[in-house]
Structure 1
Amino acid sequence: MLATPGPLPPAGVEDLYAFEVKQDGQRAMIYLPGDGTILLRARSGTDITAAYPELLPLAGALGARSAVLDGEIVALDDQGRSDFERLQQRMGLAGAPTKAARMAARVPAHLMLFDVVHLDGRLLTKLPYAERREVLEGLGAAGPAWSTPAAITGHGAEAWEMAREAGLEGLIAKRLTSRYEPGARSKSWVKIKVRRLADVVIGGWVPGRGWLTGLPGAVLVGEPHDGLLHYTGSVGTGWSHTERTRLAELLQNAAIDACPFAQVPSVAGARWVLPQLVGEVRYTSRTHAGRLRHPSWHRLRPGLTPDDLAG
C-alpha cells in the first residue's frame, strides 16, 4: 500500500488520522513463516534478504507465529534520522552476501515496522488501520536492528513542526479507518513532505525537449562560499509556462562561454550564464556533498545579488 502526496489534513479532521514519521529508505515486505526463516522482498518483488544479514535474527523474534509485516529499511545518521544516501551503499547487494556482511559492519541497516497484513494464518488487510496498529504493537517487535516507531493520533500540526525542526523528511498521515490496499496508491495514506527553502545562484541551464524546445528544461544552481560558486544541483520543476519563458529570456541575455562553478558539473548539454540571477528553491534535504534533494523552483529573487548570499 502506497501513500498519495498531499497537504497536512485540516485541524478539523486530524483526529481521524494517525501520524507516523516518513522514513527515507527501501520499502520491504517481511515474510516470517514461523519456522525460523525470513524473506525480505522489495517493492518490485525482488528477494533482498541476503543484502541485510543483520535482519536475519528477526526470523525467530516472533517464535512459532507466522506473519507478514510491512516496513522500511533505513540507515540512520548520527542523529537517528534515516539517511537514504547512506543506505544506497547497502542496496543491490543481495547477490553478493560476502560484501553485504562486510558493509553491514560499516553501515548498519535498521528495519522500521509500521504495518501487519497477515498473522497466524489470518489475512488482516480488511481490518481498519487502528486495529492493525494495535496488533502490530502487541507483537513487541523490537530488536537490535528492528523496531516499531510510534504513531500519534491527531496533533498533526504539532507532529509536522516537530518533524521540520528535527530535520526529518516528513510525515505519513494514515486514516484510522483505512483498510490495507496491497499495491494501491491510496488517498487514505497521505505523505506530507517537509519542504525547506534555499536561495541559490543560477550558473547554467539545460535546454528542454519536446514542448520545452527553446526553453530551459532545468537550471543549474549553486551557492557562493569563500568567493567561489559551489554547484548544488539541477532544478527542473516548479515553473509555469509564463515563468519558464521569462526565465529563458534572462538566461539568453546572460550567456557566457566559461563555467562559473568552482567545479564543472557533469551535466550533458549544459550552457553557462553569468552568475547574477538569484532564485529561491524548495527542497527536502541535502546530500553529504551539499546537493539539494528533490529541488523545485519557487521564485526569482530580483532584490538579491550573489553578494547578498555570500554575506
Structure 2
Amino acid sequence: MLATPGRLPSASLDAAYAYEVKQDGQRCIAYVSGDGSVLLRSRSGTDITAAYPDLSDLGRGLGSRPAVLDGEIIAPDREGRADFQRLQSRMGLAGSPARAARMARRIPAHLVLFDVLFLDTESLTRTVYSERRAVLEGLNLVGSNWSTPAAIVGHGQQALEMTRSAGLEGLVGKRLASPYQPGIRSRSWIKIRNVKTADIIIGGWLPGRGRLADLPGALLMGQPRSSGLQFVGSVGTGWTDADRTRLADVLTDLATGTCPFAERPTVTGARWVEPSLVAEVRYTTRTHAGRLRQPSWHRLRLDLSPDDLR
C-alpha cells in the first residue's frame, strides 16, 4: 500500500489520523514463516533477503508465529536518522552474500516496522489501521536491527514541526479507519514532506566541463504524460563526484541516438539514453509549463521503474 503526496489533514479531521515519521530508505515486506526464517521483498517484489543478513534474526522475535510485516529498511547515521546515501551501499547486494556480510558489519541496516498484514492464520488487510497497529505493537518487535516506532494519533501540526526541527523528511498520516490496500496508492495514507520531491525519468544528459567532461554535468528529466515523456528540466546540483561516476557507467550502457521526449528539448550537446532509470529530485516549485524550479539531485530510485510513474 502506497501513500499519496499531500498536506496535513484539516483540523477537523486531525484526530482521525495517526502520524508516523516518514523514513528515507527501502520499502520492504518481511515474510516470517514461523520456523525462524525470514524472506524480504522490495517494493518491486524482488527477493532482497541476502542483501541484509543483519535482519535474518527477525523471525526469532516471533517464535513460531508466522507473519507478514510491512516496513522500511534504513541505514541510520550517528544521530539515528535515516541516511539514504549510507543505505545505497547496502542495496543491490542480494547476489553477493559475502560482500553483503562485509557491508553489514560496516553499515548496519535497521528495519522500521509500521504494519502487520498477516498473523498466525489470519489475514489482517481488511482490518482497520488502528486495530492492525495495536496488533503490531503487541508483538513487541524491538531488537538491535529492528523496531516499531510510535505512531501519534492527532496533533499532526506539532508532529510535522518536530520532524522539521529534527531534520527529518516528514510524516505519513494514516486514516485510523482505513484497511490495508495492497498495490494501491491510497488517499487514506498521506505523505507530508518538509521539502518537495519528484520522481523523474532520466532521458539524457549533458557532459560536464573541464575534468568532468566525460561525466554528466546535468541530467535531462522527464515525467510521463498522456502525450509521452514530458521534459521537465535539467538537474546538475546536489550530487558528488562519486554519484557522477556511478551514473556515467549506467548511462553509457543506456545510450541511444533517439530523443525519448515527446518534444525535443532545446539543449545543445545532449546525449540521449533509453528512458529506463528513475531518480528522485528536490525542487522549490513548478513553472506554468511544468518545469521544476531549482531542482537538486537526491537519489537514484532502483526500487522504481518508469511504469510505476504512469
Q: TM-score, normalised by structure 2?
A: 0.68
Name 1:66's counterpart in structure 2: 66
Amino acid at match of 1:151: A
**Are 1:294 and 2:282 counterparts?**
yes
* Distance in 1 between residues matched to 2:237 and 2:47, nearest whole Å: 40
What is the deviation of 1:216?
Answer: 8.4
Would the aligned equivalents of 1:205 and 1:218 in 2 still touch at CA under 8 Å? no
**Are 1:169 and 2:169 counterparts?**
yes
* Distance in 1 between residues matched to 2:111 and 2:60, nearest whole Å: 15
| CA deviation vs aligned residue, 1:205-232 (integer Å, no higher than 9, x gap) | 8889999xxx985255669xxxxxxx9x
| CA deviation vs aligned residue, 1:9-31 (integer Å, no higher than 9, x gap) | 11111000000000011111111
Amino acid at match of 1:218: G
What is the deviation of 1:297?
Answer: 3.9
* Distance in 2 between residues matched to 1:42 and 1:116, nearest whole Å: 16
* Distance in 2 between residues matched to 1:129 and 1:16, nearest whole Å: 11
What is the deviation of 1:84?
Answer: 1.1
CA 293–107 in structure 1, closer or farther in 2 if over 3 Å, else same? farther
* Distance in 1 between residues matched to 2:281 and 2:219, nearest whole Å: 18
CA 15–104 in structure 1, closer or farther in 2 if over 3 Å, else same? same
* Distance in 2 between residues matched to 1:99 and 1:120, nearest whole Å: 34
In the TM superposition, 1:183-222 aligns within 5 A as: 183-195=183-195, 217-219=232-234
* Distance in 2 between residues matched to 1:156 and 1:7, nearest whole Å: 10
Name 2:46's counterpart in structure 1: 46
In the TM superposition, 1:7-18 aligns within 5 A as: 7-18=7-18
Q: Number of residue pairs matched?
A: 233
* Distance in 2 between residues matched to 1:46 and 1:205, nearest whole Å: 30
Report the structure number with the largest CA radius of gyration. 1
**Are 1:145 and 2:145 counterparts?**
yes
What is the deviation of 1:293?
Answer: 4.4
CA 293–131 in structure 1, closer or farther in 2 if over 3 Å, else same? same
Name 2:96's counterpart in structure 1: 96
What is the aligned-residue RMSD (CA, Å)?
A: 3.2
Aligned identity (percent) is 56
| CA deviation vs aligned residue, 1:156-203 (integer Å, no higher than 9, x gap) | 000000011111011000000000001111100000111279xxxxx9
Amino acid at match of 1:295: Y
* Distance in 2 between residues matched to 1:208 and 1:294, nearest whole Å: 12
What is the deviation of 1:294?
Answer: 1.9
* Distance in 1 between residues matched to 2:237 and 2:89, nearest whole Å: 26
What is the deviation of 1:112?
Answer: 0.2
Name 2:27's counterpart in structure 1: 27
* Distance in 1 between residues matched to 2:162 and 2:118, nearest whole Å: 32
Name 1:105's counterpart in structure 2: 105
Unaligned runs of 5+ residues in structure 2 are 198-208, 210-216, 239-243, 245-264, 272-279, 288-310
Would the aligned equivalents of 1:205 and 1:217 in 2 still touch at CA under 8 Å? no
* Distance in 2 between residues matched to 1:62 and 1:208, nearest whole Å: 45
Unaligned runs of 5+ residues in structure 1 are 198-202, 224-230, 232-247, 258-266, 270-291, 300-311
Name 2:292's counterpart in structure 1: none
CA 54–220 in structure 1, closer or farther in 2 if over 3 Å, else same? closer
* Distance in 2 between residues matched to 1:195 and 1:12, nearest whole Å: 25
CA 136–145 in structure 1, closer or farther in 2 if over 3 Å, else same? same
